[in-house]
Structure 1
């Protein structure tokens, strides 16, 4: 089975770094039951990353949802993940494409830069991500992004646009209105006692 396509709309959940295996399995399964459309593995420890990636690949396949690996194109290729998410210090889109193949998903962090997003699109990125839009527990020192950037991106890009950074059910609606196709969250789902219910709550924003 080849890589799954990236969705045009929905909830994009990102795992919490350092989560024990049993807790990771339970929380990701719950989020998928709540309707999450994409899962990204974020794990700093190389010794844990491969085991967790293989674990999540199996779970995501059960739900027919793509698994994205943060920062590590080689790992994504080796375990058969559906794609990779790249920041400014990671390998280029062309290098990642050579490792992963033509059908795999490649996403790019664009921070608050429309120029970076437009360049990524011309290089074959499958989606771009802007943020952080609000105060973030996960990345408190990340540079802020503006709603104006989302608005401009919506009018100039054909690929899906992801918004990230401190997103909750209370503030996510304005990002969707400004042009975000997907909302990417960590603690708004995995920081809650019931990730399934939290995921459903965020998904309800897309129906408003």
Structure 2
């Protein structure tokens, strides 16, 4: 399973939800057009069971499932890859454990040089953010639109933007160079399929505008 070159990257919101509710929400997001899913769970109760079921749903929709923070969990369930934050270990070690076909993404915050180093080390995509006020990451340092513009000029891997992104504000990030928009609350604080379709419409309108430039 390959990481998509563009589209909505939905990140799970499992707090205070049953496994069944999380699965239902994620499937709704996939129906609405999400192109990749990241399992992020800061207070997991039964991570292996939930992640394993998420993987089946994602593959039914030809979407990859990545695991946030945990190479071990990705390995245990055969996930498509892992997303590494600041303190989540080494790209080369993750690659050694997960294999050459695994997708490895890296959080680069507001640091293009970090992103360049990550790509050299083997990252398949890089993520920047937060770009807007975020309920999921309220203390995260802000990132600049100019960072996306510079990254687009220098990097040849998909660029992900994250942090408080809504259909109303995501267009400026796409215009600056983001290929994918990573979203938690903008999908799962609402009816997920309907919300995902709103982002899909944003991508479609941006693509239409770009083709006329």
1:76 aligns with 74
Q: CA deviation at 1:136?
A: 0.1
- Residue 164 of structure 2 is aligned with which of 163, 166, 169? 166
SS of 1:107's partner is: strand
SS of 2:108's partner is: strand
User: Where in structure 2 are the equivalents of 1:168-187 lying within 5 Å?
Assistant: 168-187=166-185
Distance 1:191 1:115 in 2: 34
User: Where in structure 2 are the equivalents of 1:21-100 lying within 5 Å?
Assistant: 21-100=19-98
1:15 aligns with 12
Distance 1:206 1:45 in 2: 32
Q: Which stretches of structure 1, 4 residues or more, deviate above 3 A after TM superposition?
A: none
Q: Please, what TM-score do these two structures have when normalized by structure 2?
A: 0.94
Distance 1:59 1:146 in 2: 35
SS of 1:69's partner is: strand
Contact 2:8 / 2:35 at 8 angstroms: preserved in 1? yes
Q: CA deviation at 1:64?
A: 1.0
Distance 1:151 1:46 in 2: 36
Q: CA deviation at 1:25?
A: 1.1
Distance 1:122 1:147 in 2: 23
SS of 2:142's partner is: coil
Distance 1:164 1:177 in 2: 15
Q: CA deviation at 1:17?
A: 3.6
1:203 aligns with 200
- Are positions 1:106 and 2:143 aligned together? no
**CA RMSD of the aligned region, Å?**
0.9
- Are positions 1:120 and 2:118 aligned together? yes
Distance 2:66 2:183 in 1: 14
- Residue 139 of structure 2 is aligned with which of 138, 141, 147? 141
Q: Please, what TM-score do these two structures have when normalized by structure 1?
A: 0.96
Structure 2 residue runs of 5 or longer lacking an equivalent are 206-213
Contact 2:171 / 2:202 at 8 angstroms: preserved in 1? yes
1:188 aligns with 186
Structure 1 residue runs of 5 or longer lacking an equivalent are none
Distance 2:47 2:108 in 1: 24
Distance 1:49 1:149 in 2: 34
Distance 1:8 1:165 in 2: 19
Q: CA deviation at 1:55?
A: 1.2
